[in-house]
Chain A
């Protein structure tokens, strides 16, 4: 059983507060749910909608089926979303919402009381046990408003109309950016500098908020160029450091990325994608910046690029990124997108609470920052902890970090830096497989599409059709060993991405010589739903649904 709720209206109607309020109570009362949103780049007006899928079992994507309930805050919302309401679905339209507002005006203070009453109505519709509410809603006034919603649902015969069991037990809830923020803290990141940009800002919010209690520092930079340079300065000075941005901000950071490559200064950069080019669609989703990250920065230097597809994966990748950045002394890049950033999910696993850290050694005055070694990695340390002087240069430099124009030495330094790629192979994250391992057909995806594809594949397998899927959370570099066990040459491959050109399909061809047979591409700014993927793949496989 599941219950799909859509909350639609203008920016300023308090829709986000309803989404956050309902999901908070769902989390505290033990429900499985998945929530995401579709909103415009404005503060008031326009048209936004928030979606919550509540289920008896784990859900990590939108199903793509009809909606069981629609809260339509204006006529536009009724017009747009009314047709997708299930025949027995509940519609509370703008007139009804106004009426509820009038009815409760006397009873409750605050202009958004009706919204909290509506939250109660939603909870009543799924049969959420009212006795569990006091522990979930810690505010008496709010609790009274929610109870009013239950009364309203009773009166309209909506209570328990779509009963869902709270089967999730106790768990944590995360959106994708919070997962990256927590992962960074677990990875020992102590310093973040950034310039606000949707959809990356919530990573900054998380870190800045955590810095209130924890030994972390967040610095709002004057621009993204300053942000990455501040992060590099902090990293040079001995703190694990990161920055985060979206595509346009990352464009500005690319010279800094190249600086990190040349100076071998560890840094983690998170990029939350939105549709481009240019300002594009600031609040929508896309996977259009993969090529940007692969090629960003002038000159040649190694980097690793990760793209998590689930909350736990985002925490792990962000955590490991800081160990990797120090071990490899190169930039580690993490790609996410608006969809994952703005989706609130249930985390079924426990988060391991150990914090990784950088342990710089104190060296004597013979220390050489760029000492040439067998493996290409020089000892990393920071100023002021020993007798060593730490000299770092953006020009080509000698082992001491002083400018050189000795061209033979330049070649040795290039080779030293590029040797890191060989170490990356041992640190690689293999792609994750789901579905039928014997299937001829295989969907390849990366980043935020992981769990949407998993649901689609599981549904198709349940219907008796063989199909598998391979999800890449490390998108660069790609080593043959990452996919060899899946024998890609022998299968029919479908690459699924949120972009117009199939950037990952192109990368697979270039790096691994893999030929993709079909592409499923979506680039209208919205995420895939499981149902949509199912439909696409069945059509390509020429199977009648």
Chain B
């Protein structure tokens, strides 16, 4: 492994290393200058991702990476904006933002580093933890059904839905590139093992199950593919709708309100 110029807070063997490297390569191959890229993230081990990349970032609060990304994109449509955070952050604390941001269909990319467990708080159930898994707060086993994030994204109308795996780095890199290039909201759920707190969903566990799929434009077919879990798990672009236009945004940044605009405003509302 190459030595990185950062004091990295991830455990040795963490899936985030491979995701970081795929993301770094994807951004570099897309040839967008780092000054034009903004990463937003929430809180958790996955949310530390922007710390270890050479670009702009706003590392915000737990669950709130997506509304930050929305604000940034609306203000500066020319910037390349990616929100990156873990399954607890995106699907748990930030679940409401995840739903409603998909509806906006802004040209942003949402990356979820999904290890099916809360790592930083040491091993509790996340929204994607399978039923029956025992952990400190569910000593009798997690009583809840796991969330199927990509089914949810498809139901909300996300036009680009993909799943990657930290164990297939080059494949992941290409997925991220496609997601960033896509004009509209692209959701990429990235399977990754948590070597410290998830002893079930290991590299081997995923490696034995993943298979690659080609994109479809049939949403219901994509939902069926997304729901295939856990015996066979599809990775790749599950769904891609080129016909749905991304929401258009006025470029406000260089324009300012003039005196005549104000006079009109006063006339209209105050006389």
- A residues adjacent to B (C-beta < 8 A): 27-28, 172-174, 178, 182, 185-186, 188, 190-191, 193, 206, 209-210, 213-217, 219, 221-223, 225-227, 229-239, 241, 255-256, 259, 263, 347, 351, 353-355, 357, 382-384, 386-395, 401-403
Contact = CB atoms under 8 A, between A and B. Distances in A.
Given A213-B264, A226-B97, A402-B51, A232 B60 contact: yes
B54 interface: yes
B68 interface: yes
A225 B95 CA distance: 12
Interface in B42-97: 43, 48, 50-51, 54-61, 63-64, 67-76, 78-79, 96-97
Given A214-B257, A215-B257, A222-B97, A241 B71 contact: yes
A386 B96 CA distance: 35
B194 interface: no
Contacts of B72: 233-234, 236-237
Contacts of A256: 61, 64
A225 B67 contact: yes
B265 A213 contact: yes
Contact of A191 (B51, B64, B75, B97): B75
B271 A172 contact: yes
A382 B79 CA distance: 11
Contacts of A386: 35
Nearest to A173: B270
A227 B269 CA distance: 26
A209 B59 CA distance: 32
B75 A234 contact: yes
B104 to A, nearest CB: 9
A237 B38 CA distance: 9
A355 B60 contact: no
B75 A215 contact: no
B270 A230 contact: no
A214 B35 CA distance: 28
Interface stretch (B22-30, B130-138, B248-256): B248-256
B75 A239 contact: yes
A216 B261 CA distance: 12
B59 A392 contact: yes
Contacts of A27: 271
Contacts of B61: 229, 255-256, 259, 394
B231 interface: no
A226 B270 contact: no
A408 to B, nearest CB: 16
7 contacts: A174-B270, A214-B265, A215-B252, A234-B72, A238-B253, A355-B262, A403-B59
B50 to A, nearest CB: 8
Name which of A219, A229, A230 has the most chain B CB atoms within 10 A of its CB.
A229
Given A237-B38, A353-B262, A402-B51, A216 B257 contact: yes
Nearest to A210: B265
Contact of A355 (B9, B40, B256): B256
Contacts of A186: 262
B140 interface: no
Given A206-B269, A233-B67, A233-B70, A222 B99 contact: yes
Given A216-B257, A219-B70, A395-B59, A233 B40 contact: yes
Contacts of A230: 67-68, 70-71, 74
Contacts of A241: 71, 75
B49 to A, nearest CB: 12
A403 B48 contact: yes
Contact of B75 (A229, A237, A354): A237
A385 to B, nearest CB: 8
B28 to A, nearest CB: 15
Nearest to A404: B7
Contact of B67 (A226, A357, A390): A226
Nearest to A390: B56
Closest 3 CB pairs between A and B?
A233-B71, A230-B71, A229-B67
A297 to B, nearest CB: 11
Nearest to B100: A222
B1 interface: no
A227 B97 CA distance: 10
A395 B64 CA distance: 14
Given A226-B67, A230-B71, A389 B56 contact: yes
B263 interface: yes
A6 to B, nearest CB: 25
B245 interface: no
A401 to B, nearest CB: 8
Contacts of A263: 58, 60
A195 to B, nearest CB: 11
B214 interface: no
A401 B259 CA distance: 38
A238 B35 CA distance: 14
A190 B74 CA distance: 11
A178 B269 contact: yes
B265 A236 contact: no
A383 B56 contact: yes
Contacts of A225: 63-64, 67, 96-97
B75 A172 contact: no
B4 interface: no
Contacts of B99: 222
Contacts of A174: 270
